[in-house]
Structure 1
Amino acid sequence: MPFDLGDTVRLEAACHDAAGTLTPATTAVVTLTLPDGTTATPAVGAPVATGEYRVDYLTVQAGRHGVRWTFTGPGSAYTDSFDVREAEPALILSLADARRHLRYAPGDTADDEQIREWLETITIGVESLAGVCCRRTVVEVHSVPADGAHTLVLRRTPVLSLTSLVAVQSGGRSYLPAELDVDGPAGVIRRLDGGRFYGPLRGTYSAGRAIIPANLSSASRIILQHLWRTQYGASRGLSQVGGGDDYLVTEPIPGFGYAIPNRALQLLEPDRLPPGVA
């Protein structure tokens, strides 16, 4: 499961000789490849038990981390990885809301990390169908025909605000946000003076919703309950984990198979994006 940015991650590895026996190493090195491509080599102390090594690493970057342990005397190696969430992950529901909907008792936090990971997954699914829910900064490049264009269409909607629209190529024309009209729900930008855009242009903007409507929150709770049932074996009654036949999907949703039940899809309908719009 992903760690939170700023968490301390415990890295562990064992050194084995050719016969597979745990053996103290002459040297032990752990190398981390960070998400930006740089590396870190935290100091490795004495083994905590025969041939067993441990390093506690304080995370400083979000993303996938590669881990490579190498030992000499005897020669041995071990490769692993772990993920770190961004500082403000997109979650359409709070953990407290999710736990309440799944009817967890106060203080029962054993499954919290698993629930949080499902919430990240559900947010991606809902946003792919209904547009961005959780505020985030988007940076994207737009090609423009040689004779210019009267409008630009931003790819992630709804748009809350436009930060900048600048030329990618040297000598190109940039545009100030004050010179532009932004249709937030549609993501369409126009020049206030009626002129054309010339590019390519790099747009930076904030997308999302200041208030997430109740239908999207309710749909997310239904999807969570639907997917949470995968944690249990077929022998457990459906009534114990939420839902009966009304949770079943009559036909798969393109791109999501049977992950989103029809009841949730109906709640998402007022905010559904047109086909082909991400």
Structure 2
Amino acid sequence: MAAVDLGSTYTTEWKTRPETATLTAEVTRPDGTTGTATVDQAAGTAQIPATMAGRWRIVWSTDTGLVYTDIFDVWPTDPRFIISIDDALAGLNAGRASDQYIDDLRLYIAAATPVIEDITGPILLSTVTVTAAGGGSSVLLDWTARTVTQVSVDGVPVADWYVEHGILYAGTRQQLGTFPVGTLVATVQLGADSVPPNVRLAARELVRHWVQLGKQYAGGSGVRSDPTDEVFTPSGFAVPRRVVELCAPHEQIGGFA
């Protein structure tokens, strides 16, 4: 299982356990605190309430001194899927997919989000903070902002500012000003209310490509990647050329190889 949902109960099994040993399971939550596990000695399983998003660690041990370590991941409340599971299944023509296949597919969808956004810029709604040095008249934002909700310098709100073409300016459009000297922090909202249809198709194509390479290819037959049909995103992700073509109307940055 790639990951479990926040608030669910994760069941794990020590498949190679010694049959006659007494088992214990120590669980470490993502913040380093101790979690809880209910061990079924006969089945060799442990049930763990997934109460926090992130990476969990399980350390099995026995009364004979054997130790076995495993991990599992818990999705955040919003896993930031750029397309739905049904969208991905439709792209794969996998209407009869098993539960395990669908669980794995969620990981592919989540992984597709930062790759697509590396081409288009932020698509899904998010709120970020931008930190910069004050004392100047403008600050370049990393991406075109949907809105800027707050600007402060050393914790003191800045009264007059505006945004234009991805640049945060001090003052007003009628009279340019200067930000106070100090650490400037801007709260910025990114993304859009919906995912454009062409970007949805690009994400479908990317997920389909990954799944066919990673899950459906086996032995001497299957789908192989043609390097001449791939391009690299600015961060270095290799993606099918068709994905970039579909994203072209929303491409915000250059740098493709």
TM-score range for the pair, normalised by the shorter chain length? 0.7 to 0.9
Instruction: Select which of 153, 166, 169 maps to 2:140.
Output: 153
Letter in 2 for 1:104: A
Output the TM-score relative to the length of structure 1.
0.76
Deviation at 1:64, TM superposition (A): 0.8
Deviation at 1:175, TM superposition (A): 2.2
Match of 1:119 in 2: 109
Match of 1:63 in 2: 54
Deviation at 1:8, TM superposition (A): 1.0
Match of 2:242 in 1: 263
- Identical positions, percent: 26
Instruction: Select which of 232, 240, 243 maps to 2:216.
Output: 232
Call closer, same or farther: CA 1:270–1:163 in 2, change over 3 Å. Answer: same
Note if contact 2:38-2:48 (Cα within 8 Å) is conserved in structure 1.
Answer: no
Structure 1 spans left out of the alignment, 5+ residues: 239-243
Match of 1:195 in 2: 177
Q: How far apart are the structure 2 equivalents of 1:257 and 1:163?
A: 32
Structure 2 spans left out of the alignment, 5+ residues: none
Note if contact 1:165-1:175 (Cα within 8 Å) is conserved in structure 2.
Answer: yes
Call closer, same or farther: CA 1:128–1:75 in 2, change over 3 Å. Answer: same
Deviation at 1:15, TM superposition (A): 8.9
Note if contact 1:248-1:262 (Cα within 8 Å) is conserved in structure 2.
Answer: no
Match of 1:241 in 2: none
Instruction: Select which of 99, 103, 108 maps to 2:97.
Output: 108
Q: How many residues align structurally?
A: 246
Deviation at 1:30, TM superposition (A): 2.5
Deviation at 1:251, TM superposition (A): 5.2
Note if contact 2:126-2:190 (Cα within 8 Å) is conserved in structure 1.
Answer: yes
Deviating above 6 A after TM superposition, structure 1's stretches of 4 or more consecutive aligned residues are none
Deviation at 1:89, TM superposition (A): 1.3
Deviation at 1:9, TM superposition (A): 0.6
Deviation at 1:224, TM superposition (A): 2.0
Q: How far apart are the structure 1 equivalents of 2:130 and 2:62?
A: 44
Q: How far apart are the structure 2 equivalents of 1:167 and 1:8?
A: 44
Call closer, same or farther: CA 1:216–1:77 in 2, change over 3 Å. Answer: same
Instruction: Select which of 190, 202, 215 maps to 1:207.
Output: 190
Call closer, same or farther: CA 1:249–1:60 in 2, change over 3 Å. Answer: farther
DSSP 3-state at the match of 1:2? coil
Measured against aligned partners, the alpha-carbon deviations of 1:42-91 in whole angstroms (never above 9, x if no partner) come to 3546x125xx3x2211211111112222333x222221111111111111
